[in-house]
Amino acid sequence: MQKRRVVVTGLGAVTPIGIGVKELWDGLISGKNGVAPITKFDASDYDTKIAAEVKNFDPEKFFDKKAVKRLDPFSQYAMVSADEAIIDAGINTDKVNKEKFGVIFGSGIGGMVTNQQQHFNYFESKSPHVISPFFVTMMISDIAAGQISIKHGLKGPNYATTSACATSSHAIADAFILIQRGSADLMICGGSEAAITEMAIGGFNAMKALSRWNDRYLEASRPFDKDRNGFVMGEGAGAILLEEYEHAVSRGAKIYCEISGIGLTGDAYHITAPAPGGEGAVRSMSEAIRDAEISLNDVDYINAHGTSTPYNDVNETNAIKSVFKEHAYKMLVSSTKSMTGHLLGAAGGVEAIATILAVKNNIVPPTINLTNPDPECDLNYSPMTATKKEIKCAISNTFGFGGHNASLLFKKFED
């Protein structure tokens, strides 16, 4: 059976460097830094006092007061980004077959703000009667997908993915497969996270995973740099509208690019550390290239997972060299986490948008703060400033705790 082609027709984002795709893209190209001291709680006793928070987000601009109280921030970010993607795609949801329009929207953690607050309320009162009747429906990680579906009446496939940092990429991959096989014509997919809380920062601190450059916070997220010392937590959401090619053409849709390959693998190695040599990443990138039916030399850019952690950056670099051999030194690689921080379950959605726009606009976002390159990280990471180059095909990598690997391959749209 011939595969149905899948194209990207809408984008939406809520990020630490801007609300909306235009602010995100302008920020990425200009090297805008979203890292700052934590304001969501008093972090004075924490080892890490910095994060990449979403700024200037007023939920009452998007929801009525009752809805604000019944939506965890991760759901708010998800719904706002999904709304933007639908508007950007120029879709009137009343004029499409809603039974062929689905939602796959994931979260690595879900309603962490709600979960923590309800626990605080319970332990302060010692009474179960203080627990909100909306606690469960605000906290569960699938609820953002459900809320998007309910708001727009979308009755196609509807569920969430949860695979740590690979969450959004798995959502996009699943949506791609469902359209390819004919189960849907349109899918809103991506992920959302709002986990800058006392418990989450404390937990990642206990793991020694976060940067502690509190007095140098603008330099703290520095992928591939010799002085990197941990990732910086971020928050936000990225939404992508995928559409079957003929469906998009028939309605005269604006098409950003085509998604033509996915690679999904497991390390089967360790709960946090990547497999030696990036073995799982090697297979995920190789599978995406095979699935897209292109050659290695067709890939011009990789939006790296690039977490700014000692293990990931070297392993991913080695994986890229293992897959692409000498072509690895001809490609551009960059980590937008240097600007947005690590959005955990939302990372793949926001980084897929960056990759899509790199293909569309022939501009590769920079890796900022790369001032002292690690000798083991010796590829062209578009350091400090954006790079103009024709991008025919690009890969977005995301790798999650638990050994979850996902590579998404986007290519220039050709009618």
Active-site amino acid positions: 165, 305, 342
Pairing of strands 404-411, 393-400: antiparallel
Contact by Cβ (8 Å): 385, 366: yes
Beta strand pairing status for 18-19 and 6-15? antiparallel
Contact 59, 71 (CB under 8 A): yes
DSSP 369: T
**Dihedral angle, C-alpha 315, 393, 105, 241, nearest 10 °:** 170
Do 106 and 32 contact (CB within 8 A), yes or no?
A: no
Rounded to the nearest 10 degrees, the angle between the axes of helix 198-206 and helix 112-125 is: 100
Which residue is it, tokens 């890796």? 367
- Residue 280 parent element (H or E): helix 279-292
Say how far apart CA 118 and CA 112 lie, in whole Å: 10
> CA 49, CA 40: separation in Å to the nearest integer?
11
For residue 11, which amino acid is it?
Answer: L
Alpha-carbon dihedral angle through residues 45, 194, 36, 18, given to the nearest 10 degrees:
-170
Burial class (CB in 10 A: 0-12, 13-18, 19+), 415: exposed
Q: Tell me how crowded residue 224 is: count the other CB atoms within 10 A of its CB.
A: 29
Q: Give phi and psi for 285, each to the nearest 5.
A: -65, -40
Tell me if residue 251 falls in helix, strand or coil.
coil
Give the C-alpha separation, 222 to 32, whole Å: 13
What phi-psi label fits residue 387: left (phi over 0), alpha (psi between -120 and 50 degrees) or beta? beta
CA–centroid distance for 198 within its chain: 22
Cβ(316)–Cβ(275) under 8 Å? no
User: What tokens appear for 102 in the block?
Assistant: 């689905």
CA atoms within 13 A on the CB side of 169: 36
